[in-house]
Structure 1
Amino acid sequence: MVKRLTLATAALALVPTVASAAAAAPRDEVRVVLKFVKRDGAGKVPVRFDPASCKACRVVDEPLFNADNPRETVIALQVPRRRTIELAFDARQATVRQVLLEAGELAFRTDRDRILVALPPLAQDAITAAEVATHIVEPGMVLRFEHADPARRAGAYATGDFPDLQRRAANALEFAQRQVVRTLGLGEQAVRRGWGTIQIMGFDTNAPHGHVDAPPHVHMHLRWPGNTGTQIGHYYIDQAGLLSHNMVGVKGLGAPERRFGRGDTFATIAPDGVTAYTHRITEQGWLEIGDGQGRACLIRPVSAGGFADGATVLCPGTGEKRITVADDLSNGVLTVTTGDIVETFRYATDSGLLLSPAAVPASAPSVSPQQIEPALGR
């Protein structure tokens, strides 16, 4: 209980700092990360920025902001803020088939061994192009599913054994937490009370924009409006594919993280001081999630080998839900099986961008829209 109160108090004390942070003067330059997707067979042929094309621009030389692998070349630059600039890059002919900024594609043209990229005027940093993750959006919740590609491995995962077992465990845990959020109505509650958005995440293995993301872990945090005050837990996954402990920090606090071991309960506090939900890693390395009002769901492995083989979700008043996840990196197909329900998410293999339909088309004008939707996950 002491740990729970300490984090809640720290988070609530941060609310007044949001306005002062927003009042900071804008910078004269912004950081941009561009991903040059290679054609098949291009291998390790790199792409290089031509500084003569923009004398006011400079290459970011911080570790892991730039990358080159068989899939892509990633280049980070500091560029003038809100300027329309055409950048030139040296590249062998027919090496590049796509240029990505954030999750979108930029138009480019080639001139012999040069690539010319028209950069839109940027008002703020745009650094996430190197990420390869699929986002699944539901009421009050976003699930960010990271695709672990050994060809892109970098940072803490650049050498040694690739964390395939831990990544598969994270896959199952992400969708198991999603099932709990649906069953307990946590996302709808976050929307109804204006708390922010629940974000479920795993870990990257390619260290995009310097985000090392190690050791392997999963998240489920409530991102407050304005972000400051968000309590971010890291539920670490051990070599057996089970959860070992949780390290929690509060966004904007600047204080050391707090550790929650097996058996300890961590409460996520909403902006109004209410407990939004709780997490407890059990003594076996399983996960219990409660709604703060007495109801709790247990997530346990489907086998003795940890969560890598899948997860079983047991909530009050519902039957067991067995969840397995398969990620086909080559074809960009993510398959999630929940009991008898099989979901298929198709994504762009270069970025993770969700290609499957995510919104229902509008009804005909003569049809009255439904006022009440059936609750998810019941």
Structure 2
Amino acid sequence: MPRPLTRRCLLAGVPAIGLAAAVPGTAHGAELAYAAFRVVRRLPGEPSQPEITLPAGYDLVPGANYSVASRAEYYTFVRGPHDAAGIEVNLRWPDTTVETVIHQDLRLPIRPDPTDRHGLAFTLPMSQVSVNANQPTIQVWSHPDISPGMNWRIEHNDPDRVAGPWTTVPWPAGEVRSVVHQLVAAHAICRDSGMVDVAAAKGHRFVLMGFETNNTLHADNPPHWHISYNSGADFSAPTHNPHFWLDPAGRNFYNGMDVTGLGRFRYYVGDPAPLYDFIGVANGGRGNLVLTFTLREDGGIDIDPADGPGYAIAAGRDGGLLEEVTALRAGEPWLRISTDDDVRHGVLVVRVTDLQDPAASSTKVHRYDRLTGVLHTVPA
């Protein structure tokens, strides 16, 4: 398994956000930069926000999407002249104990104010070119496998961190749990089938992603997940981006597949959804068939590569997808997969039972920074 890498901020379906409004005090011609920081409370409580003081020439990006309070934290975005060494930010939050301040994947050193027990300061690098480039600051996700042909991300969602549309709907407990089982199954299928190697040989990649409940820059709602295919190195290349919508029982019931240049294709249970590589002029210019997705009656997904046996993510032994999922290979039960993600302690347990070769079964423990998602260890 490759070593973990720091997170990338370009997301499927997320528009680049540029704010060109003048910043008070910014000198004419000065390079404008953006930075986000996330203030984490030691104990969750009623959402509130701290008092923030910035140096002259800097201000907070205006708008409710850019200053967000939840039970666990508060995040906001700053704009002003580029300063890679960083600016001093002073923060005062009465009756709230601050655990740490997050910027990108870093925990910034904080300095208590010796004259005010409610105050602290920290140095914030001002180096990002857009608001959107700061998305790693507000996300908690891990990358178990970034390698040629594969970019796999697992989101670690916490009900105390909800933001945006998730503050007005019930917590999606079933979807949050099931999507991790299904991501593990999808990764195993992409690897075992050889499709990752074929994609890598073309300079292409698969992208496996869940959904986020804390990001006001990307309202990832309703709950859905992706087995995307970039016909190139990243999302700037032609892309097939399926959106598998989940119900509270973790069942996939709709696939809205966005295809570069062609818009959204809509598929339901039983509808074959072909995915192509955009090489050549076959299939109306979409190129060669890579695989076909078909949503199953049990809420799973048939995944049929263009070459080789078919695979599937199917229901577990209880007929559902909440406790576990079953991966099928050539129509036969192959793997039984269940996961437990302890987001409060940063521990993800993945149990894989090989139903065809029991000796190949495994239980792996992924430990990650609970506030950034960065992996401490990647099990072999």
Q: Tell me, yes or no, whether TM beats 0.5.
A: yes
**Could you tell me how far apart the structure 2 residues matched to 1:319 and 1:59 are?**
54
Aligned counterpart, 1:300: 314
SS at match of 1:267: strand
Which one of the candidate residues 242, 257, 271 is aligned to 1:248? Answer: 257
SS at match of 1:173: helix
Which one of the candidate residues 103, 119, 122 is aligned to 2:125? Answer: 119
CA deviation after TM superposition for structure 1 residue 120, in Å: 4.9
Aligned counterpart, 2:87: 86
Aligned counterpart, 1:268: 275
Cα pair 2:108 2:122 within 8 Å, conserved: no
Cα pair 1:32 1:127 within 8 Å, conserved: no
For residues 79-121 of structure 1, the C-alpha deviation after alignment (integer angstroms, 9 at most, x for no partner) is 3346544132322488333222222233443334241324153
Query: For residue 307 of structure 1, what is the amino acid of its counterpart?
Result: L
Aligned counterpart, 1:166: 175
The answer on 1:97 being equivalent to 2:99 is yes
SS at match of 2:321: strand
The answer on 1:50 being equivalent to 2:53 is yes
Label 1:74 to 1:264 Cα distance change in 2 as closer, same or farther (>3 A): same
Label 1:154 to 1:45 Cα distance change in 2 as closer, same or farther (>3 A): closer
CA deviation after TM superposition for structure 1 residue 32, in Å: 2.3
SS at match of 1:338: strand
For residues 55-100 of structure 1, the C-alpha deviation after alignment (integer angstroms, 9 at most, x for no partner) is 2x33223343322233221111223346544132322488333222
Label 1:270 to 1:178 Cα distance change in 2 as closer, same or farther (>3 A): same
Which one of the candidate residues 297, 301, 304 is aligned to 1:283? Answer: 297
Aligned counterpart, 2:369: 348
Q: Which ranges of structure 1 fall in alignment gaps of 5 or more residues?
A: 1-25, 361-378
Label 1:92 to 1:308 Cα distance change in 2 as closer, same or farther (>3 A): same
For residues 327-348 of structure 1, the C-alpha deviation after alignment (integer angstroms, 9 at most, x for no partner) is 1122211001110310110111
For residues 228-285 of structure 1, the C-alpha deviation after alignment (integer angstroms, 9 at most, x for no partner) is 312211001123321111001135x4x6422111112222222423223221112343
Query: For residue 249 of structure 2, what is the amino acid of its counterpart?
Result: A
Give the aligned CA root-mean-square deviation in angstroms.
Answer: 2.7
Query: For residue 217 of structure 1, what is the amino acid of its counterpart?
Result: H
CA deviation after TM superposition for structure 1 residue 218, in Å: 1.3
CA deviation after TM superposition for structure 1 residue 215, in Å: 1.0
**Could you tell me how far apart the structure 2 residues matched to 1:193 and 1:150 are?**
40
**Could you tell me how far apart the structure 2 residues matched to 1:42 and 1:281 are?**
41
CA deviation after TM superposition for structure 1 residue 186, in Å: 1.7
Aligned counterpart, 1:320: 334
Cα pair 1:220 1:233 within 8 Å, conserved: yes
With the length of structure 2 as denominator, give the TM-score of the two structures. Answer: 0.78
Query: For residue 117 of structure 1, what is the amino acid of its counterpart?
Result: T
Cα pair 1:235 1:247 within 8 Å, conserved: yes
**Could you tell me how far apart the structure 2 residues matched to 1:42 and 1:307 are?**
32
Cα pair 1:46 1:91 within 8 Å, conserved: no
Aligned counterpart, 1:22: none
Deviates more, 1:35-44 or 1:349-358: 35-44
Label 1:117 to 1:226 Cα distance change in 2 as closer, same or farther (>3 A): same
CA deviation after TM superposition for structure 1 residue 43, in Å: 6.5
